[in-house]
């Protein structure tokens, strides 16, 4: 069996570390070709010593010397800077690029990997949120498959296997509701970052956990689903499912609904993306229906969690508006995590940035770069008046 050579962009984050668990459990199938990280250099060093990749990149070049010295006794080439991350993603020796970086930073490496015709295992949803039309066109032009890693999109992908050209009537995108699902508006006004980070089902990084609590993550996933599965936003319905057992569903033209179920363990969709079209054995916990007390479903409350509405509005407007949305959200979440703004203020900040930034109906990559910078500057300015 020929091993797939994997480049993991963001190897020290939640998705990256779990992907390495999958790779370690399947050494005959996978070889780690490259690992990249931004700041967690100590964990990156530990991973490099264990998995012996050909290349290691730290995007923050302030950590370069520490990384280089720590790996000086290993047969590993060490690079620094964000541009090096993009260059590694496009290298000829790479078979699969797992994009597990957080936020806008994943856009350029994904573009370079697609231009090189690489298979993309996509965990960086912001790439399709910011530049979905560009990413989709590059994937088609270079015949580069994009395989979803998010549990929801993996579920939809699996539900569509064997359906050929059968018409999709609706995608039912499930959401746990996050850590604050049952909080009142009064409680949300005073909630702390520590409270918002206590996700009931999933172990994720801080940024995505806050996005889950605000439902922005589900808005991003809806935009991602639009591009991945060629549907309109009107064909996507968000369903709050607190148990996180049904990972998403597809309703077809005849009224039939297919669902993908499983325990809330990200190693399952990660492995499926890396081994597709095969399913191989995993040691993940099996779902026992007799242990399930009930499966419940609710409509999302966009009054308490308006970010979901903002995401749908941004996608419907199109152009560079989702890019503005993403940049403003990244600034807002970082400010909330630092204790500079309240939970409810994040939505107001994002909405104001969307109203004040320059709208471009038909952006290219250079426009996305300018838009991202403008939105971050505007959001940072607005923070001073809060």
Domains of the chain, residue spans: 4-148, 153-264+291-317
Question: Which contacts qualify for 365-370: CB closer than 8 Å, 24 or more apart?
Answer: 365/111, 365/131, 365/134, 367/320, 368/107, 368/130, 368/131, 368/134, 368/320, 368/323
Backbone φ and ψ for 121, nearest 5 degrees, come out as: -95, 105
Radius of gyration of the chain (CA): 20
The reported pLDDT for the residue numbered 204 is: 76
Beta strands 246-252 and 168-175, pairing class? antiparallel
φ, ψ of residue 165 in degrees (nearest 5): -100, 20
Distance (Å) of CA 157 to CA 12, 66, 86, 150, 283: 26, 41, 27, 10, 22
Looking at residue 385, its pLDDT comes to 86
CATH tag for 4-148 (out of 3.40.50.2300, 3.40.50.300, 3.40.50.1110, 3.40.50.720): 3.40.50.720
Pick out the chain residues at pLDDT < 70: 1, 203
- Give 367-378 pLDDT, tens digit per residue: 999 999 999 999
End-to-end CA distance of the chain: 58
- What is the structure's pLDDT at 1? 66
H runs (alpha helix) in 52-125: 64-70, 82-89, 107-115
Q: Is the pTM of this model over 0.85?
A: yes
Whether 282 contacts 268, CB under 8 Å: yes
Contact 280, 26 (CB under 8 A): yes
């Amino acid at each position: 069996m020929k091993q797939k050579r994997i480049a993991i962009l963001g190897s020290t984050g939640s998705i990256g570390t779990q992907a390495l668990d999958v790779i370690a459990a399947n050494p005959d199938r996978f070889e780690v070709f490259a690992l990249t990280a931004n700041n967690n250099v100590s964990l990156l060093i530990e991973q490099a010593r264990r998995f012996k990749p050909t290349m290691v990149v730290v995007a923050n070049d302030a950590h370069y010397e520490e990384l280089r010295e720590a790996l000086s006794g290993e047969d590993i080439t060490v690079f620094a800077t964000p541009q090096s991350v993009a260059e590694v993603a496009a290298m000829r020796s790479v078979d699969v690029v797992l994009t597990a970086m957080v936020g806008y930073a994943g856009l350029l490496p994904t573009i370079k990997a697609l231009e090189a015709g690489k298979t993309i295992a996509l965990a960086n949803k912001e790439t399709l949120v910011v530049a979905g039309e560009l990413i989709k066109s590059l994937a088609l032009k270079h015949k580069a498959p994009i395989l979803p890693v998010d549990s929801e999109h993996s579920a939809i992908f699996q539900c569509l296997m064997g359906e050929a050209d059968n018409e999709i009537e609706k995608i039912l995108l499930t959401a746990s509701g996050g850590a604050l699902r049952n909080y009142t508006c009064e409680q949300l006004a005073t909630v702390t970052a520590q409270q918002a980070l206590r996700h009931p089902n999933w172990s994720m990084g801080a940024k995505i956990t806050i996005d889950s609590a605000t439902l922005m993550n589900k808005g991003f996933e809806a935009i991602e689903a639009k591009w991945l599965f060629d549907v309109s936003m009107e064909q996507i319905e968000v369903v709050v499912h607190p148990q996180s057992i049904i990972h998403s569903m597809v309703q077809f033209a005849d009224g039939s609904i297919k669902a993908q179920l499983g325990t809330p363990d990200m190693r399952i969709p990660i492995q499926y993306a890396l081994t597709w079209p095969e399913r191989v054995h995993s040691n993940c916990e099996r779902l026992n229906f007799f242990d399930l007390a009930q499966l419940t479903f609710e409509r999302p409350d966009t009054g308490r969690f308006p970010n979901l509405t903002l995401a749908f509005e941004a996608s419907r407007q199109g152009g560079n508006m989702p890019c503005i949305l993403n940049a403003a959200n990244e600034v807002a979440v970082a400010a909330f995590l630092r204790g500079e703004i309240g939970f409810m203020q994040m939505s107001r900040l994002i909405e104001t940035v969307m109203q004040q930034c320059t709208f471009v109906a038909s952006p290219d990559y250079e426009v996305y770069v300018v838009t991202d910078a403008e939105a971050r500057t505007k959001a940072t300015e607005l923070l001073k008046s809060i």
